[in-house]
Amino acid sequence: MRRLAVFLLSLCLAAPLFAADAARPERKQAFGDVTVFYNAFASSMLQPQVAADTGLTRSKQLGVLTVAVLKADKPGMAVVSGTVKDLTGRSSPLSFRQTSSQGAISYVAQFKVEQAQRMVFDLDIETGGVSHSLSFNQDVFPGE
């Protein structure tokens, strides 16, 4: 009975995180004329050549977070920083680097994925001297 009570309490505490993810299924957030697109996935999903071209490591235990910024509907430069944490509260800093291809600019960071779980990402995006904060959660699965 005690285990059931602990389980139900855990679900209640995690419910706002699940709801936040459903609120933005399109994986973008607008801040006036700045739109930030983001997504997280297992790095093993990358084609080997894409991983090599972007300097990313393909691994079953690594995820990739991509962030792209449009300002007035054009690719924009930004400074992106942030953290990722699991539902136990363990937090790790994200180290972003800029990549570009065919005029598109994106920022990528890798993070550990030890098991299938919901991860919480807290990002700060600075563009044009203005800082924007973005928080989202996403289910991430280790690669195969």
Rounded Cα distance between 113 and 59, Å, is 10
DSSP letter at 87 equals: T
E strand or H helix at 40: strand 34-42
Average pLDDT, the chain: 83
pLDDT in tens, 85-95: 988 889 999 99
Amino acid at 20: A
Name the β-bridge partners of 130: 127
Mean pLDDT value across residues 29-56: 94
**pLDDT score of 6 more than 90:** no
User: What is the percentage of the chain residues whose pLDDT exceeds 90?
Assistant: 67
**pLDDT score of 102 more than 50:** yes
Rounded Cα distance between 5 and 17, Å, is 20
Q: Which residue segments constitute the domains of the chain, with CATH numbers given?
A: 2-140 (2.60.40.3340)
